[in-house]
């Protein structure tokens, strides 16, 4: 009889240990460091997409609402948990002790209390929630001094048009610090969702419709965003970067972007331009040249960008070389379904370039500053 007792006791001791391991595992799944990388392939120097570290007035409103609801939930959780633990310990079964519990069925005061109190809590949460939602979603028209930017979602990259300055760029948006920015969003193919957590809430980009976001940055820096609506194979690799500059620096950047490209006249860069005309001109545009296609990112000042491939890769020679060899090895796409006649582009195909062509093409792209 002693051996079964020892086995039973051993099992009883293992149960709390197993429960502790399970709880610890669940807690650890909620832990994350500051590394926002996507399998180690995202641009070096990225910062976390953290909506709890607001960098503008719209994001401040979202952050304030979150903490209000969070602390109310904490108080409710503590009260309910305390009551539950108290009831478990106070009224647990004990050997030799018979305890009767007074029933409260039909207690009018209690029933009124636990009906009114949750209703009051919901009202306290609902009023600031609805107020914040209406406030951040109301962007019917740009403010007088707002910078207007047209945002077009593509599978799988973002197009940014600056009508005030007359140029187009891709994946990287530059804005002046302290000035309202009015975005008009739409999509060229499927539903996307524009989201830069530290600046504003999410907003869908819908084909055939326009939506708007009005935001402002109150600090200089780089803010990372991502498409927040599943939009196809490379959805997770559809990012955007927003750079906030002092007004003078932004104006200098915008004027440089508005200038047409300067074509090379000799060497490897000239050879790369010739490769571009035979392999890339049907999809990409370079302002001031014969390349005018609008199916893929505008490359007029490609070398001035810090990233490419949906803002997931550093704009380095090493990454460019690997990309030109086999784009789909770095970013999941379906280029075999491209249909330029129908205006449908689902990724950059493998062009079958030789190493020399790749070297020349990189030399050309590096001149586009």
DSSP string of 252-312? HHHHHHHSPP----SHHHHHHHHHHHHHTTTT-B-TTSS-B--SS---TTGGG-SEETTTT
Instruction: At 284, give phi and psi (nearest 5°).
Output: -105, 150
Global pTM value: 0.80
Nearest to 293 by CA among 306, 277, 315, 307: 277
Domains 38-91+105-244 and 267-365 share a fold: yes
Q: What is the pLDDT of residue 106?
A: 74
Of the chain, the end-to-end C-alpha distance in Å amounts to 85
Give the DSSP letter of residue 185.
Answer: E
Nearest to 239 by CA among 329, 306, 146: 306
Nearest to 198 by CA among 44, 47, 306, 314: 47
Say whether pLDDT at 13 is over 80.
Answer: no
Q: In which band, very low, low, confident or very high, does the pLDDT at 329 lie, cut at 50, 70 and 90? A: confident
Q: What is the pLDDT of residue 43?
A: 44
Q: In which band, very low, low, confident or very high, does the pLDDT at 137 lie, cut at 50, 70 and 90? A: confident
Say whether pLDDT at 22 is over 90.
Answer: no
> Both tokens of residue 333?
């796409």
Q: What is the pLDDT of residue 194?
A: 95
Q: What is the pLDDT of residue 104?
A: 63
The pLDDT mean for the chain works out to 85
Report domain extents, the chain.
38-91+105-244, 267-365
- Residue 240 and residue 173: Cα distance in Å, rounded? 7
Superfamily classification of domain 38-91+105-244: Cupredoxins -  blue copper proteins (2.60.40.420)
> Both tokens of residue 59?
């994001």
Bridge partners of residue 285, in order along the sequence: 292
Bridge partners of residue 169, in order along the sequence: 160
Q: What is the dihedral of CA 342, 348, 349, 351, to 10 degrees?
A: 120
Q: In which band, very low, low, confident or very high, does the pLDDT at 41 lie, cut at 50, 70 and 90? A: very low
Contact 250, 174 (CB under 8 A): yes
Superfamily classification of domain 267-365: Cupredoxins -  blue copper proteins (2.60.40.420)
Contact 185, 212 (CB under 8 A): yes
> Both tokens of residue 24?
């610890």
> Both tokens of residue 314?
């550093």
Q: What is the pLDDT of residue 44?
A: 41
- Residue 65 and residue 7: Cα distance in Å, rounded? 53
């Amino acid at each position: 009889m002693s051996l079964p007792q020892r086995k039973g006791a051993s099992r009883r001791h293992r149960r709390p240990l197993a429960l502790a391991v399970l709880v610890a595992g669940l807690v650890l799944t909620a832990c994350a460091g500051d590394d926002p990388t996507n399998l180690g392939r995202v641009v070096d120097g990225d910062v976390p997409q953290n909506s709890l570290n607001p960098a503008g007035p719209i994001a401040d409103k979202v952050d304030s609402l979150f903490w209000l609801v969070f602390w109310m939930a904490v108080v409710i959780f503590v009260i309910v948990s305390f009551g539950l633990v108290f009831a478990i310990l106070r009224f647990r079964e004990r050997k030799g002790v018979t305890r009767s519990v007074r029933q409260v069925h039909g207690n009018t005061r209690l029933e009124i209390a636990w009906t009114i109190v949750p209703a009051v809590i919901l009202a306290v949460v609902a009023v600031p929630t609805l107020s914040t939602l209406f406030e951040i979603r109301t962007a019917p028209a740009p403010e007088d001094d707002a910078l207007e930017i047209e945002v077009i979602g593509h599978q799988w990259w973002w197009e940014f048009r600056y009508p005030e300055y007359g140029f187009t760029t891709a994946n990287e948006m530059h804005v002046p610090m302290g000035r309202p920015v009015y975005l008009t969003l739409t999509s060229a193919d499927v539903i996307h969702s524009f989201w830069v957590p530290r600046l504003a809430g999410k907003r869908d980009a819908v084909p055939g419709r326009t939506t708007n976001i009005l935001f402002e940055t109150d600090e200089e820096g780089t803010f990372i965003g991502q498409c927040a609506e599943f939009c196809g194979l490379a959805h997770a690799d559809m990012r955007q970067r927003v750079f906030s500059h002092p007004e003078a620096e932004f104006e200098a950047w915008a004027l440089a972007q508005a200038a047409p490209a300067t074509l090379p006249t000799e060497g490897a860069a000239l050879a790369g331009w010739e490769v571009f005309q035979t392999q890339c001109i049907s999809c990409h545009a370079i302002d001031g040249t014969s390349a005018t296609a609008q199916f893929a990112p505008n490359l007029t000042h490609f070398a001035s960008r810090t990233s490419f491939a949906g803002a997931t890769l550093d704009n380095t020679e090493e990454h460019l070389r690997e990309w030109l060899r086999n784009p789909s090895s770095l970013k999941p796409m379906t280029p075999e379904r491209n249909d330029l006649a129908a205006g449908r582009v689902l990724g950059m195909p493998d062009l079958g370039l030789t190493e020399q062509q790749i070297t020349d093409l990189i030399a050309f792209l590096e001149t586009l500053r």
